[in-house]
């Protein structure tokens, strides 16, 4: 069903309530949406992005409902298929339509979707496109979250079409944000899993958004922001260098030893007024783990030794953390073992991309003993001291 944002501007995308994973990796507890927007000018009509290929029929049905018999431009902000996947069908249905994108995206669209070069018009950073009484201005936002990503601004209506920027995986019943806390949590999950590795580049691109006079932010996933300052402020915090007095402890335990260590360590931190979030990797939602990483000053990975290395679940968590590159300042490891192994060395290697200070690990042979618990207390004390040194306690 199409829905109107402003006069002549409609949501024509699709909700996907059944989807539970994105990219075969990211849990989607609230589903997602693929946002496509139709903009009717006095002279031309533009379609802003499309939908996931298997939702093409929904997009076409929404266009038919609005009586759309021609499309002049298909604006493609990003070549990934959840935004571009229906472009070939749109071009077949509307033979006069041209794809408007940037040169990097042009190459990807031709490669991923086999779109003919003569159907694509490229724009430079700052270029405009007139629909008559409505004008798009394009600005490049590389690495939000692919190198070819761009955004557009509808000048007369003060709408920023931001593609993945500010997106949230949420198949909601309302066009606009109705529950700010839920949307901010879903947007933080989205940021953590997709945007966080490019935090520094996003910080620069955020300044371009802040310079605009915006009534609405219309992203490619989730609801439209009719109070855009909320998500702009949230992103400003997430991309900053500021961390919070929080410790994240992803862990796995095979026979109970690592569990006892993590339980004691979590209590030790709490007694020292340090917030701690422990994630049992056997059952944890990695999206929740990623959200916690956005703000945490410290990460401590807990793992038993399997043969001579970390438990595969702990190794996967280390790989993910290394991939996401959070702004975490300190890292340590709690490890139990039976006879020998290189768990600490291997986990350190797996997190080598993080710009962190490594704190003395705690290695425990067998079940935890008094001296092992004392070592955990020393690690908790060291974390408190580090947090005090950077002014978050």
Q: What percent of the chain has pLDDT over 90?
A: 93
Q: How many whole angstroms separate alpha carbon 308 and alpha carbon 32?
A: 41
Q: At what angle do helices 312-324 and 286-293 cross, to 10 degrees?
A: 40
Domain 3-238, architecture per CATH? 4-Layer Sandwich (3.60)
Q: What rounded mean pLDDT belongs to the chain?
A: 96
Q: How many whole angstroms separate alpha carbon 142 and alpha carbon 132?
A: 29
Residue-level pLDDT at 281: 97
Residues pairing with 111 in the sheet: none
Instruction: Extract the tokens encoding 81.
Output: 């298929």
Q: What are the helix and strand counts (H, E) for the chain?
A: 12, 23
Residue-level pLDDT at 82: 95
**pTM of the entire structure?**
0.92
- Where exactly are the structural domains of the chain? 3-238, 244-389
**Per-residue pLDDT tens for 324-349?**
999 999 999 999 988 778 999 999 99
Domain 244-389, architecture per CATH? 3-Layer(aba) Sandwich (3.40)
For the chain, which residues score pLDDT lower than 70? none
Omega of the bond leading into 145 within 30 degrees of 0 (cis)? yes
Residue-level pLDDT at 24: 77
Instruction: Please choose, from the candidates 69, 86, 62, the residue with its C-alpha nearest in 3D space to the C-alpha of residue 1.
Output: 62
Identify the DSSP state of 191: I
Residue-level pLDDT at 2: 86
């Amino acid at each position: 069903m199409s829905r109107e944002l402003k006069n002549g501007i409609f949501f024509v995308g699709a909700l996907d309530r059944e989807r539970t994973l994105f990219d075969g990796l990211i849990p989607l507890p609230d589903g997602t949406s693929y946002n496509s927007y139709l903009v009717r000018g006095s002279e031309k009509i533009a379609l802003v992005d499309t939908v996931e290929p298997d939702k093409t029929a929904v997009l076409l049905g929404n266009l038919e409902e609005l009586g759309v018999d021609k499309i002049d431009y298909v604006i493609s902000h990003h070549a990934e298929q959840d935004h571009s996947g229906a472009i070939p069908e749109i071009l077949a249905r509307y033979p006069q339509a041209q794809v408007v994108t940037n040169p990097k995206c042009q190459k990807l669209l031709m490669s991923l979707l086999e779109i003919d070069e003569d159907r694509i018009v490229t724009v430079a950073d700052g270029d405009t496109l007139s629909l008559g009484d409505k004008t798009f201005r394009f600005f490049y936002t590389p690495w939000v979250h692919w190198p070819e990503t761009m955004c557009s601004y509808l000048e007369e209506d003060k709408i920023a079409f931001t593609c993945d920027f500010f997106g949230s995986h949420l198949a909601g019943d309302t066009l606009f944000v109705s529950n700010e806390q839920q949307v901010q949590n879903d947007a933080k999950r989205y940021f953590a899993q997709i945007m966080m590795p490019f935090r520094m580049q996003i910080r620069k691109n955020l300044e371009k958004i802040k310079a605009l006079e915006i009534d609405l932010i219309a992203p490619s996933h989730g609801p439209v922001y009719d109070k855009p300052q909320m998500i702009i402020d949230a992103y400003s915090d997430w991309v900053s260098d500021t961390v919070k007095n929080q410790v994240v402890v992803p862990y796995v335990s095979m026979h109970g030893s690592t569990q006892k260590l993590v339980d004691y360590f979590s209590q030790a931190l709490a007694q020292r007024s340090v917030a701690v979030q422990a994630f049992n990797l056997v059952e944890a939602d990695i999206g929740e783990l990623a959200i916690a990483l956005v703000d945490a000053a410290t990460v401590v990975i807990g793992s038993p030794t399997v043969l001579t290395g970390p438990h595969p679940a702990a190794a996967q968590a280390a790989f993910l953390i290394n991939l996401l590159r959070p702004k975490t300042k300190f890292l340590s490891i709690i490890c139990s073992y039976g006879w020998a192994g290189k768990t600490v060395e291997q986990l350190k290697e797996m997190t080598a991309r993080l710009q962190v200070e490594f704190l003395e690990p705690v290695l425990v042979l067998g079940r935890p003993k008094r001296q092992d618990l004392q070592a955990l207390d020393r690690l908790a004390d060291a974390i408190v001291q580090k947090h005090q040194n950077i002014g978050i306690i």
